[in-house]
Amino acid sequence: MVRYLARLPTPPDALLVTGDLADHGEPAEYEVVRALFDELPFPVLFCPGNHDVREPYRKALLRDDSGAVGPVDRAYEIGGVLILMVDSSIPGRHDGLLSDDTLAWLDVRLAARPGMPALIAFHHPPVVLGMPFVDGIRQFEEQRLAALVERHPQIVALLCGHAHTPAATTFAGRPLIVAPGVVSTSMLPFETDAIVDPSLPPMIAFHLIETPAAGAEGARLTSHFRVMA
């Protein structure tokens, strides 16, 4: 995947990686990830997943030695878009939740840029996807996030990972795009008895944002999926 992105004739504005950078959250794993993505000539933005551990994640990927222990939330302004990478992980658990601190942080960041199109990215989907295993460890108490989305019309879409399958649905009236997996693909219950298929090729998604003259509220997201054959 990294080689494919590095060879693109026109580089993207940024790469968003929505969690599970490591398998066991070990410092050495994050150093491998950091070295891999350092090869790319454009920004790489991260947020944690349920397999990540905040302290080594912060140190290796964000070069943050502050000793902070709370959620890892980061804001970026790239290409005229506000990109909010937030932490839906719960230390020691596989399901997800946006903390009160994260929701308050999102509120402040969005209120400060009401005229700028915004993307919110996190790991755990806040909806049922029809995949029993994934649905059991999704993001819960999602009504709190829905209320925030309704307050901020400049939110163009929400992006997430965790499910290891390319999927598109809606959340609070906005697009919710689930990133495909790069290691394995989760299967739907009517396809097979297996939960995942590690033999399927990795995939990525390209997200294009069109901002018409009407401003942030008229922005539109188009997503394209590519198989890394």
The one-letter code for the residue type at 130 is G
Per residue in 147-156, pLDDT tens? 999 999 999 9
The answer to whether 125 and 114 are in contact (CB under 8 A) is no
User: What size, in residues, is the chain?
Assistant: 229
Phi-psi region of 51 (alpha: psi -120 to 50; beta: other; left: phi over 0): alpha
pTM equals: 0.96
Fold annotation for 2-227:
Purple Acid Phosphatase; chain A, domain 2 (3.60.21)
| pLDDT of 226 higher than 90 | yes
Check residue 172 and give its pLDDT.
98
Phi-psi region of 83 (alpha: psi -120 to 50; beta: other; left: phi over 0): beta
| pLDDT of 217 higher than 90 | no
The answer to whether 153 and 104 are in contact (CB under 8 A) is no
Per residue in 114-142, pLDDT tens? 999 999 999 999 999 999 999 999 999 99
